[in-house]
Chain A
Amino acid sequence: MKNTIAITPELVAQHGLKPDEYQRILKLIGREPTLTELGIFSAMWNEHCSYKSSRLHLRGLPTKAPWVIQGPGENAGVIDIGDGLACVFKMESHNHPSYIEPYQGATTGVGGILRDVFTMGARPIATLNALRFGSPDHPKTRHLMSGVVAGIGGYGNSFGVPTVGGQMGFHTRYDGNILVNAMAVGIAKSDEIFYAKATGVGNPIVYLGSKTGRDGIHGATMASAAFDDAADEKRPTVQVGDPFAEKLLLEACLELMQTGSVIAIQDMGAAGLTSSAVEMGAKGDLGIELDLDKIPCREEGMTAYEMMLSESQERMLMVLDPTKEKQAEAIFVKWGLDFAIVGKTTDTLRFVVKHKGEVMADLPIKELGDEAPLYDRPYVETPKRPVLDAKKITSPMSNREALLKLIGSPDLASKRWVWEQYDHLILGNTVQQPGGDSAVVRVGEGPRGLALTSDVTPRYCEADPFEGGKQAVAEAYRNIIAVGGTPKAITDNLNFGNPERPEYMGQLVYCIRGLGAACEELDFPVVSGNVSLYNETNGRGILPTPTVGGVGVIDDVTKSMTLAFKAEDEIIVLLGETTGWLGSSSWLAEIAGREDGAPPPVDLLMEKLIGELVLGLIKDGLVTAVHDLSDGGLAVGVAEMAMAGGVGATIAALPFGLPSHAELFGEDQARYVVTVKNKDALDELSRRVGAVVATGEALVIMTVIGKTGGDALTLPGEMPISLSELHNAHENWLPSYMAGEL
């Protein structure tokens, strides 16, 4: 395609630009763009790169705290974790490509997020992933799931980072749009963090990593496009990942960073060379001039347009100290990677791209980002749903049967089939592997550790986006506390439908507000994140899914806590209030076949007070097991503790005066189940609860609900369920489903 091709409305539309956006371009540069320039605008101004529909609302999120070193705006977020160390982390989506080619979509999602972390100088030490698939009955679900899981394992295992946690859920609203959100966590010295901001005029711009091919051209545009039935035809644009190349790139970059030669560094992700070069220059108030003749290509005859938009993986761009060029080159030769000087910084504030002696693009560098469209899209609030009265909802089966059905249901069943395909032990620092409230990894030789979790309850967000947004953060907070961690910061991956539809835009706006309210109250700021919109097929959007990736610090990881019952004859205590909340619950969906009712409200003050109480109990060695309650409520929570510990329990008749199925399966928030060894510990626990109540801030409720012991779980008024029966129900669903036996 010639650079001076006539720009037709069709061409503009093909580039994902609306007519008024094109007018903005004309006004900005005062002429028609060249084809290369059109490509650059289409990449920089699409939803995925510019956040044009969301950034107005994201501005309201709390992003600061004394321990935050770097908030949103860089490759990843950075927090101080003590002892001169920093934790660098982020979550990102790779939804649309994973639907088209699940293995490669997932691998490149993992690859991209790992690069975002190590480009800042942090060695990745753990990854997590949050996955949403369509209904298990949908014909594509098994294929998509096995491809995505194989891809995540294929990349992470080879690269050499343990995959330690995550979430997996199924719902018909994801039938045509699966979600693959990948989170990476790394450790760096807090005074050796590397940023993307270029400095110094006339400094060389260096390309490192794999050669450039035609992968994913228009990938960033595709990420912003909704699918129609022609989605299968989009296959050629999916990028292919090479974890081996990424491992070499990691080692080479970390070595390079030790030499002091790196002034700025940015990985090439969505919109490849274009976005990384523009951002590096714009952040540093510098112009960038690129000479595409120098770009290492693996295909012949690539045009400027193709080179600027290619999304070939495993590539970085950096600004190098010119006095250290030879030293840097030697490191890349050692690791067998391509290294080329492809341009320089200038003082013109222009982004100039040259190829074969011709200027293919000459654009104002700051305005490319700053003048990206910023939309205040119309939105409507989701109508509030009525609060369901538990007394009016009868159970079609016994609580015993309901428990077995719930723990064997797709969302709650054991995901062992998945995480045994992930190397979760490499690096020898996995203190708590998948299956607990949070993953726990030791940092180096310790004593410090990190608690890592990924949470969101999409059906709550559908019912009430504001409460659902709060709940996602609150659950992450509880999951970190439950293992003995102090919650520090979150990364958020917002997955929503078409923002041009006011009802879906409303979901985005109110979920963000809910997230923000919880982050503020819980001192749990957002330090990085990602937005994925247009997740809809044939006009129907996904459930609103604001995935929250939480990070907490554990001062002494040998004192971290697990949810397993530890011994016989321990006292089981429920902390928090139970009102038998069935609206939008798992029980309501799985057992009563309904998805209505307002979701459980989140009392942020209560979350904070109970959270601090529980953390204190763990630190002072007063409790032997801790589990936060979420999907499936009390009965599921206790069953999970029994199965994990191989110790049964007897739950006494509950004193809440509600229908038993509401007491056992209601999903009231701000609740934990803990065990204590003996009466002395119970008395101390009572005393502490009383102290909180005495402040008048909130009425924390404590209820002794039973005792551990035996090899069965006995619910009030029911025949015991043996541990092996529980185990079979929990473990068998997923392997049977994947073997096609269901």
Chain B
Amino acid sequence: MKSAVITFPGSNREGDVIRALRRSTGHEPASIWHQDAELPKGTDLVVLPGGFSYGDYLRCGAIAARAPVMDAVRTHAAKGGLVLGICNGFQILVESGLLPGVLMRNAGLKFICKMQHLKVGRSDTAFTSAYHEGQIIKVAIAHGEGNYVADADTIARIEGENRVAFRYCTAKGDTKAGNPNGSLNDIAGIYSEHLNVLGMMPHPENLIETLVGGTDGRGLFESLSTLRGAA
């Protein structure tokens, strides 16, 4: 499974996700600069990492979404290629139209960094096959604008098509009580229509070792590493 991680000016968790991919797939992901016009041949998975691309200026992810490389990402996604956007990456995906909705300021108005439990949605996707549906996992969050908002029709469609990838919850699985930022329906991550694009606010890439907090994040990368060839 060949992966490529895009760095925008201001991205800062590309190292974290590269390490997670390297450990789970055994391959070094390609590093792509935001001004590159094309992705490497044979790329299966494109990753938009966490950070503060363009300093979050104007709106989070707004300027990065209009970067030259995003045309190649759009083409890749249209052909069924896999795209993973984490935190700022999720913000870039919604700004670029690859996923619906908007990520707004946390309801509590403050940046929050802490461990966070999630309830896994469907486990029949390229991203979650190593988890089981309804599994409660502990990963991390670190964001100021993670409040997922969309109009009623969009929410109904996402829910109706079973495209909510993860929901915030407590360690015991209580979603309402476990919501840290006010996201509608406690949504922490969603899929595109064909399930090949995943955007999520939490950071699975920071929970891949017991030493730094836990290993529940591994499942996402292990799911991806079991793929052979382009999706």
Contacts and interface: CB of A to CB of B under 8 A. Distances in A.
A439 to B, nearest CB: 12
A420 B55 contact: no
Interface string A417-441: 0011111111111110000000000
Interface residues of A, number: 31
Given A247-B10, A420-B114, A423-B142, A160 B51 contact: yes
A417 to B, nearest CB: 9
A153 interface: yes
B212 A431 contact: yes
A128 to B, nearest CB: 15
Contact of B142 (A244, A248, A426, A429): A426
Interface in B124-171: 140, 142, 144
A243 interface: yes
Interface stretch (B11-19, B72-80, B97-105, B182-190): B11-19
Given A158-B52, A160-B12, A427-B16, A244 B57 contact: yes
A558 interface: yes
A124 B54 CA distance: 20
Interface stretch (B37-45, B191-199, B203-211, B221-229): B203-211
A159 interface: yes
B55 A426 contact: no
A244 B16 contact: no
Interface in B45-88: 50-52, 54-57
Given A244-B9, A442-B212, A426 B16 contact: yes
B55 A158 contact: yes
Contacts, number: 83
B68 to A, nearest CB: 14
Interface in A471-523: none
Contact of B113 (A158, A247, A422): A422
A557 B110 CA distance: 32
A558 B211 contact: yes
Given A153-B111, A159-B12, A244-B54, A425 B206 contact: yes
B112 A420 contact: yes
Interface string B1-29: 00000000110110110010000000000
Contact of A421 (B19, B55, B113, B211): B113
A423 B111 contact: yes
B64 to A, nearest CB: 12
Given A158-B55, A427-B16, A421 B111 contact: yes
Contacts of A335: 9
A157 B52 contact: yes
A92 interface: no
Contacts of B55: 158, 242-245, 247
A426 B141 CA distance: 10
A628 B184 CA distance: 45
A431 B211 contact: yes
Contacts of B50: 426
A422 B140 CA distance: 13
Contacts of B12: 159-160, 247, 426
Nearest to B109: A150
A248 B112 CA distance: 24
Contacts of B54: 244
A244 B10 contact: yes
A336 interface: yes
Nearest to B115: A425
Given A420-B114, A431-B211, A425 B140 contact: yes
A430 B214 CA distance: 12
Given A244-B57, A558-B211, A426 B112 contact: no
Nearest to A149: B110
A228 B51 CA distance: 41
Contacts of A430: 212-213
A414 to B, nearest CB: 13
A51 to B, nearest CB: 35
A427 B20 CA distance: 11
B84 to A, nearest CB: 17
Contacts of A242: 55
Contacts of A557: 211
A339 B171 CA distance: 51
Contacts of A427: 15-16
Nearest to B54: A244
Nearest to A242: B55
Nearest to B14: A160
A425 B114 CA distance: 8
B29 to A, nearest CB: 15
Contact of A243 (B16, B52, B144, B206): B52
B55 to A, nearest CB: 3
Contact of A157 (B9, B111, B211): B111
A425 B56 contact: no
Given A428-B19, A429-B212, A421 B112 contact: yes
Contact of A428 (B16, B51, B144): B16
Given A153-B111, A420-B113, A425 B9 contact: no
Task: For the complex of A and B, list the 10 residue pairs with the smallest distance between their C-beta atoms, beginning with the closest.
Answer: A244-B55, A160-B12, A158-B52, A423-B142, A428-B16, A423-B113, A425-B206, A421-B111, A425-B140, A428-B206
14 contacts: A154-B111, A157-B142, A158-B10, A243-B52, A247-B12, A247-B52, A248-B9, A336-B9, A422-B111, A425-B113, A426-B12, A428-B16, A428-B205, A430-B213
Given A154-B111, A158-B52, A431-B212, 12 more contacts: A157-B52, A157-B111, A243-B52, A245-B55, A247-B9, A247-B12, A421-B110, A423-B113, A424-B113, A425-B113, A428-B205, A442-B212
